[in-house]
Amino acid sequence: MVEELFRKLMSGDRRAAARLISLVENDEPGAVEAIRMLHRHTGRAHVVGITGPPGAGKSTLVTALTRELRSRDLTVGIVAVDPTSPFTGGALLGDRVRMQELATDKGVFIRSMGSRGSLGGVARATNDVVNVLDAFGKDMVLVETVGAGQVEVDIVRLAHTSVVVTMPGAGDEIQAIKAGILEIGDIFVVNKADREESARTALELSLMLELSPRGPEEWCPPIIKTVAVSGEGVGELAEAVLRHQDYLREHGLRERKEKERLTAEMLEIINQKVSVAVRRLIREGGPLQDLMHKVLETREIDPHTGADLIMQRLLENGELR
């Protein structure tokens, strides 16, 4: 069944794409098989992370940016992630409706997702969904996510190009950006730039950026003013994204990012297998029963020593299969 879905995906079947995304997003049976098959066909799309505080107009901007990219004959996948609701399966993304106008364009594929289990889970599920759209042949994959601390950072790290969106007068939001996102933004957008304080917001941003020293060869993040609802400045944003894509290729940085992304992915797979094996060992009792008793009850063994002893047992018995 996965094989058939995969074959259909390769022939451009949108329903197969939707089905495969659900499969990997929810980690359903067959998900690993699907990811294995997809891998050979991934690594081509340019992944753009778009983040910023609620109300900055990210969805409208993503819609307008997609229009610009389409006018340059690029196909676009959109993944809208809301990591703030850890337990709900469905995403609460009301303004996703704004993207409706794109729904009839065969060159665009849109997907909203909530979050999955643990935090690592959100970033990993997003990665898997991006891979489906990559294999589906989309030239650009835009990942939109709400500003939400660490989750946001983890998701943005998946991207080749990170776009940070803010809006005029969002003083606190800029403080928040300063606290975390300034370091990872490749392009900054002041959206709703028809508002009064937009010049000041852009100035504040550029002052902050000047504080982080950059070498002469290094990418200098542009600050772009946009009015997403009218499309103003969005062409410039599209150009900046394409320029950054070129920059990464020319400096061998795309390869480095891909290496880091795949290393992180493999590490997470390994860690999950180790966790499953350890939890099974502990549940089954046996020799670890005594260990747990000494960690938990008598407190003779501390967690670090306990971890070493568990690892030793895993290694000796080859339990990590």
Please report, as ranges, the residues that interact with a second copy according to CB under 8 A. Answer: 32, 35-43, 83-88, 92, 115, 118-120, 122, 148-151, 153-154, 176, 179-180, 183, 255, 258-259, 262-263, 265-267, 269-271, 273-275, 278-279, 282, 292, 295-296, 299-307, 310-311, 315, 318, 320
Integer angstrom CA distances of residue 211 from 207, 214, 272: 7, 9, 39
Question: How far is Cα 86 from Cα 123, in angstroms, rounded to an integer?
Answer: 12
Q: Residue 206 CB, nearest distance to a second copy (Å)?
A: 20
C-beta separation of 173 from 53 below 8 A: yes
Whether residue 99 contacts residue 78, with contact meaning beta carbons closer than 8 Å, is answered with: yes
Return the number of the residue (217 or 300) whose C-beta is nearest a second copy: 300
Rounded to the nearest 5°, which phi and psi values hold at 214?
-130, 145
Q: How far is the CB of 226 from a second copy (least distance, A)?
A: 26
Shortest Å, Cβ 7 to a second copy: 17
**Closer by beta carbon to a second copy, 229 or else 314:** 314
3-class SS at 292?
A: helix
* Rounded-to-integer distance, Cα 4 and Cα 285, Å: 42
At its nearest, how many Å lie between a second copy and the CB of residue 101?
A: 27
For residues 213 and 216, which CB has a smaller minimum distance to a second copy in the complex? Answer: 213
Kindly tell me which of 199 and 269 has the beta carbon lying closer to a second copy: 269
Least distance from a second copy to the Cβ atom of residue 111, Å? 20
Which SS3 state, helix, strand or coil, does residue 93 take? coil
Return the SS3 of 77: strand
Nearer to a second copy, 29 or 216 (CB): 29
**Residue 53 phi, psi dihedral angles, 5° rounding:** -70, 160
What is the closest distance, in whole angstroms, from the C-beta atom of residue 118 to a second copy in the complex?
7
Residue 95 or 302: the one with the smaller Cβ distance to a second copy is: 302
Question: Residue 53 or 233: which CB sits closer to a second copy?
Answer: 53
Least separation in angstroms between CB 120 and a second copy: 8
Where in the chain does DSSP place strands (E)? Answer: 46-52, 76-81, 108-113, 140-146, 161-166, 187-190, 223-225
Three-state secondary structure call for residue 141: strand
Comparison of 29 and 318: residue with beta carbon closer to a second copy? 318
**Distances in whole angstroms, Cα of residue 127 to Cα of each of 53, 122, 210, 284, 285:** 22, 9, 32, 33, 36
Instruction: Tell me the closest approach of the beta carbon of residue 179 to a second copy, in angstroms.
Output: 4
Instruction: Closer to a second copy by CB, 4 or 300: give it.
Output: 300
Q: How far is the CB of 273 from a second copy (least distance, A)?
A: 7
The one-letter code for the residue type at 60 is T
Residues 6+ away with beta carbon under 8 Å from 251: 217
Q: Using CA atoms, how far apart are residues 6 and 20, in angstroms rounded to an integer? A: 8
